[in-house]
Amino acid sequence: MCQRRTTTFDLEQRGQCAACESALYLDAATSTTRCPRCETKGARAVGSGRHVLDDNGSVVDFVPSWLQDTDTVMRGLLREVEWRVCDDVVDGSLVAQPREIAYEATGAALGVPYAYEGLATQLEPREFSPTVLDLRRRVERAIFGHDDGFFNSAHLNLYRSGADHVSWHADEDDDLYGENPVIASLSLGCRRTFAMRRAKEILTFSLDDGALLVMAGATQKNFDHSIRKDDSVERRVNITFRRVLRVSSPDRQLLMPASILTGPEGTRFPVMRDALLSTAFAALLPLELLTLGSLSRGLESLGYMPGRRTYDVRQGRIYLLSARLRAYGVRGDGLAAWLATTPDAGKKLACAAALAPTPRFCLVFCGGNAGDLGYRIPTLRHLATVFPDADIASFDYAGFGLSEGASSEATAFASLRDFCDSYRERRGDVPLVLYGHSMGASVAIDFATSGYPRRRARALVLDGPPASIFHCLGCGTRASLAALFGRLDYYPNHRKIGTLECPVFILHGLQDPICPPINARRLYDAAPPSTTRYEPIFWVPGATHGDCASVAPDEFARRLRRFVNAALGLPPRIGAGRDG
């Protein structure tokens, strides 16, 4: 039972470091007092720009002085937000936190209270205050290029002086935020040191008035962070914008935003777009071949994010190595898995499938550019419930999971062709239905339009498809830009789909922050009418990138079955549990 209430300051007792005389702080996680300065000795100070912190997908973008009208914003926040001092439970006692906090949300997130281990009472969210709402819009535009409410919650901290701080922690709650959350952190007022640490490595960011810091990918899994206690006297406010998910699933939030800002507000130069432009510019120079070759290779590699391998294949089965996926209840049980050898390159290609006794067809799931086969397992199982009498299969692109080779547009295309050959060798001439999500849609479109008669696709499903990388980044609407740089664009699906012959079904989340929904419309319009007449576009309200099936499961299943049955011209098999 928690009885006495004390404050962090009581417990810190104005202790001083014996070595450097800095005021000690109480670390809430270990309930020990420590020196904020000595603890970060040898830290590497990190400047502005994008920082890929490791090979595991920890990415941070940092823009000092991003926000300009900070005084007005600060006044608005102090006036509108309901600030309060909350208690942590430390060693069984209530301890007042060394800062004031508030929690605001909107939409579905309003129904989800804020809580974390150690917080004495969970916080009921309040509606976004006007200033927070306005900031959310500006931050979203900077990160995603458009504001459609991706961030539905805001956690606010008020540090009254340098004595206020936040101890080491990670904002990691998979049920609340999904696997790889994008967290946008905006700072106002007094400059303070934000530190990140992993094992012995410590990084510091000097967060000034108006600084915007975006943590994405696996940053919360791999690093802790803190605001260091210091002797400053001015106050500081920090807002972290996050997206609270309604359904927890390891397949959600896998992707990082395609573009993250690098300039002050108003002069947005998302990294990817910047790189595309400089690539295009380099092409106009006399040294074009050399420069273009190296730039475009570097650029292309940015697009593939396999992450750490999550599985192994042994004796025809897939085993999950990732504790995180296992904690979600993801299991390889009942799935077949094999390592094919690619005929051209002699490299390994990892394949997995839920096999039906007598499959009517095989649905081949081509995943996006992040994560490997381990992450596809829930999707395979879900699709197997939609089509109990089909084989549901997937594979890893070269460079992902156990599939060998370098990742590129060409090797991703080859991986699907090699998979289909390997599948056919094992299962015979089963009709193929391709289901491509995100980058996988590009791979599926390439296959379906590249004229391999033996591997012909009988139907194509495109889920959150990019019309091309330029279109995905939001440049595609500018016709002149697209025409000028078109030859450098990756995955030009809108051009390829004009020669499609098989039926196609396109679905897209209306809240997709990564690939704007206009991409679906462009592909639909560019495809021959004979291929799109089976099913209109399925727009899924509330869905983002890759969660259409979990946001609208019933309609997803109904329309997918209707499409596949019509496309294959097969009557539904009686008793197979389908509604045709």
Name residues whose C-beta falls within 8 Å of residue 286's C-beta, 6 or more positions apart in sequence: none
The residue (of 238 and 519) whose beta carbon lies closer to Fe ion is 238
Number of chain positions touching Fe ion (CB under 5 A):
1
Q: Point out which span in 49-57, 92-100, 168-176, 284-292 binds Fe ion (CB under 5 A).
A: 168-176
Type of residue at 338: W
Cα distance from N-terminal residue to C-terminal residue, the chain: 57
The type of residue at 552 is: A
204 in contact with ligand AKG (CB under 6 A): no
Taking the complex as a whole, how short is the minimal distance between the CB of residue 536 and ligand AKG, in angstroms?
Answer: 43
Q: Which residue has the tokens 């922690």?
A: 169
Does the protein bind ligand AKG through residue 97 (CB under 6 A)? no
Give yes or no for residue 171 binding Fe ion (CB under 5 A): yes
- When CB distances are held under 5 to 8 angstroms depending on the partner's kind, the choice from ligand AKG, Fe ion, none that residue 442 binds is none
Q: Which of 66, 114, 194, 400 binds ligand AKG (CB under 6 A)?
A: 194
Residues 142-161 that bind ligand AKG (CB under 6 A): 155, 157
To which residue do tokens 């956690």 refer? Answer: 155
With CB under 5 to 8 Å by kind, the binding choice for 227 among Fe ion, ligand AKG, none is ligand AKG
Residue 171 binds to ligand AKG (criterion: CB under 6 A): yes
Give the SS3 label for residue 273. helix
* Interface region with Fe ion, contact rule CB under 5 A, candidates 31-39, 171-179, 305-313, 454-462: 171-179
Choose among 78, 133, 127, 135: nearest CA to 105: 127
The interface partner of residue 544, options being Fe ion, ligand AKG, none and the CB cut-off 5 to 8 Å by kind, is none
| CB of 177 or CB of 491, closer to ligand AKG | 177
Q: State in angstroms the smallest separation of the CB of 363 from ligand AKG.
A: 41
Q: Which residue number, 27 or 171, has a Cβ lying nearer to Fe ion?
A: 171
The smaller minimum CB distance to ligand AKG, of residues 97 and 422, is found at 97
Pairing of β 362-366 and β 391-395: parallel
Residue in 50, 138, 225, 578 binding ligand AKG, rule: CB under 6 A: 225
Which is closer to ligand AKG, CB of 225 or CB of 494? 225
Which residue from 333, 545, 357, 567 is spatially nearest to 437, judged by alpha carbons?
545
Q: How far is the CB of 193 from ligand AKG (least distance, A)?
A: 10
563: which 2 tokens?
Answer: 């499409």
CA 525 to chain centre: 28
SS (H, E, C) 14-74: CCECCCCCCECEEECCCCEEECCCHHHCCCEECCCEEEECCCCCEEEEEECCCCCCHHHHH
- For residue 167, the partner it binds in ligand AKG, Fe ion, none, with Cβ less than 5 to 8 A by kind, is none
Q: Tell me if 271 sits within 8 A of 257, measured CB to CB.
A: no
d(CA 490, CA 361): 31
Closest separation in Å from C-beta 168 to Fe ion: 10
CB 210 within 8 A of CB 4: no
Q: Does 240 bind ligand AKG (CB under 6 A)?
A: yes
The binder of ligand AKG chosen from 112, 227, 299, 336 (CB under 6 A): 227
Contact status: 185 vs ligand AKG (CB under 6 A): yes
Residues in Cβ contact with 367 at an 8 Å cutoff, skipping those fewer than 6 apart: 375, 376, 379, 394, 437, 438, 439, 440
DSSP string, 364-381: EEE--SBS-HHHHHHHHH
How many residues sit in the footprint of ligand AKG (CB under 6 A)? 12
By CB under 6 A, name the binding residues for ligand AKG.
Answer: 155, 157, 166, 171, 185, 187, 194, 207, 225, 227, 238, 240
Given the rule CB under 5 A, which residues bind Fe ion? Answer: 171
